[in-house]
């Protein structure tokens, strides 16, 4: 296969991954050996480190905190420049002054997930006990492990209860886990474009991506950082395959159709003849500049393992039994990665548990990524839901959009 990722990108990838993994461009909290995190894998993780960002200020009563949970390849920079790419935060459409999650009213917290590569302990982090990157010596983690680590962060920050937990995709899984594991700490929850378990099809897509990474000769059994190489070709292919699932057929057609890339006739070769091919190659190349390949293996596996009902006797409603948390569940009509039926299953379980829940299916042709893009209906729903929760806790009314 012809490589479409430049050699200089490969060397930059390793350097950036190492710097951000250990010394992120964000606040960081480090827990010593006296505060280990017990993982679902049955082992304790010592020397836990969490990279995070905050936006806005906490009020005197500590009642205005909103936890934002990022999706698969996101990070703590929800509404601030990414230090690796220099691009705006991944949820600046939703988080910021006057936005639905208004940083002039709310104290917003976003942490890099456990297993990530932007300052929270993950396979790219240096293991203090060996002085080398964890690599595959890092235990596998779950969504519940990620949430338990976030709970430790909130304890460190002195946040006893959250006004809201919000997130989409893998972030939505964390929202559901928060509501199940810490119902007394979550006043309201907003899971978007997500499911209470990962489907067989989604597991299959993830496995294709992992195999692409591990088939790259430079993966070196996960030891590439120690050996000074990076499996950038495999990771780029994994990202290309995944990115297709984030869009819809209609959005791909609207954006590219069958238009050729800077030419009038096909080359009758394997260059990027079509615009959509060029776009996917660009997505793959840009991704390897900011993400660690082993982290990709770990966080996709965490999503695969997620099955909230399995922890409650196979009955999803049992996860929310007796919960006082308010829920707002949202899906998108063109999302085939987490279709509306996944959200309806969550809503039915919440109804069966007696929880307070509202649900909306938003008309959109943008596919799964719609929750990250300009979607006025989502903004209006999120703003209204948060305003209602804030009023219930006696917080000041926000300004109009």
Residue 46, judged by CB atoms within 10 A of its CB (0-12, 13-18, 19+), counts as: middle
Neighbours of 54 (CB within 10 A): 18
Rounded CA separation 267/248 (Å): 27
CA angle, 135 as apex, 130 and 140 as ends, to 5°?
110
Is 295 a known active-site residue?
no
Rounded CA separation 13/178 (Å): 33
Is 335 a known active-site residue?
yes
218 is in an annotated binding site: no
Rounded CA separation 93/128 (Å): 38
Sequence-distant (6+) residues with CB within 8 A of 12 are 289
Per DSSP bridges, beta strands 132-133 and 126-127 are antiparallel
In the block, which residue shows the tokens 């379980």? 349
Catalytic residue among 169, 248, 323, 343: 169
In the block, which residue shows the tokens 């703590």? 76
Is 216 a known active-site residue?
no
- B/e letters for 211-222, b = 16+ CB within 10 Å, e = fewer, are ebbbebebbbeb
Catalytic residue among 334, 335, 343, 364: 335
Catalytic residue among 70, 198, 232, 368: 368
239 is in an annotated binding site: yes
Residues with catalytic annotation? 169, 335, 368
Query: Would you list which residues are annotated within the binding site?
Result: 239, 369
Which residue ranges make up the annotated binding site for substrate? 239, 369
């Amino acid at each position: 296969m012809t490589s479409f990722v430049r050699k200089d990108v490969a060397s930059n990838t390793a350097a950036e991954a190492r710097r951000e993994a250990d010394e992120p461009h964000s606040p960081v909290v480090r827990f010593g050996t006296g505060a280990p995190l017990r993982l679902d894998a049955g082992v304790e993780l010592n020397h836990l480190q969490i990279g995070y960002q905050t936006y806005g200020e906490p009020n005197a009563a500590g009642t205005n905190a909103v936890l934002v949970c990022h999706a698969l390849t996101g990070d703590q920079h929800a509404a601030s420049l990414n230090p690796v790419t220099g691009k705006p935060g991944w949820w600046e459409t939703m988080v910021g002054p006057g936005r639905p999650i208004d940083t002039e009213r709310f104290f917003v917290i976003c942490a890099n997930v456990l297993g990530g590569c932007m300052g929270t302990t993950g396979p790219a982090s240096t293991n203090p006990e060996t002085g080398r990157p964890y690599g595959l010596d890092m235990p596998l983690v779950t969504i519940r492990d990620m949430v338990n680590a976030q709970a430790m962060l909130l304890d460190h920050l002195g946040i006893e209860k959250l006004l809201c937990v919000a997130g989409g995709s893998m972030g939505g899984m964390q929202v559901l886990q928060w509501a199940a594991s810490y119902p007394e700490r979550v006043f309201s929850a907003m899971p978007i474009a997500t499911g209470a378990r990962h489907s067989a099809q989604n597991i299959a897509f993830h496995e294709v991506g992992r195999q692409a990474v591990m088939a790259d000769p430079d993966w070196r059994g996960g030891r590439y950082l120690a050996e000074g190489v990076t499996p950038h070709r495999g990771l780029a292919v994994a990202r290309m395959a995944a990115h297709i699932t984030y869009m819809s057929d209609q959005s791909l057609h609207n954006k590219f159709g069958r238009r050729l890339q800077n030419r009038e006739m096909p080359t009758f070769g394997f260059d990027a003849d079509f615009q959509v091919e060029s776009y996917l190659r660009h997505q793959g190349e840009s991704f390897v500049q900011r993400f660690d390949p082993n982290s990709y293996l770990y966080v996709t596996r965490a999503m695969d393992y997620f099955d909230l009902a399995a922890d409650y006797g196979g009955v999803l409603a049992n996860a929310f039994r007796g919960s006082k948390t308010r829920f707002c569940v949202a899906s998108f009509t063109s999302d085939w990665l987490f279709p509306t039926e996944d959200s309806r299953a969550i809503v039915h379980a919440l109804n069966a548990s007696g929880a307070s829940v509202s649900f909306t299916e938003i008309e959109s042709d943008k596919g799964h990524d719609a929750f990250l893009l300009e979607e006025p209906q989502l903004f209006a729903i999120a703003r209204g839901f948060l305003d209602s929760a804030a009023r219930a806790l006696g917080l000041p009314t926000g300004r109009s959009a």
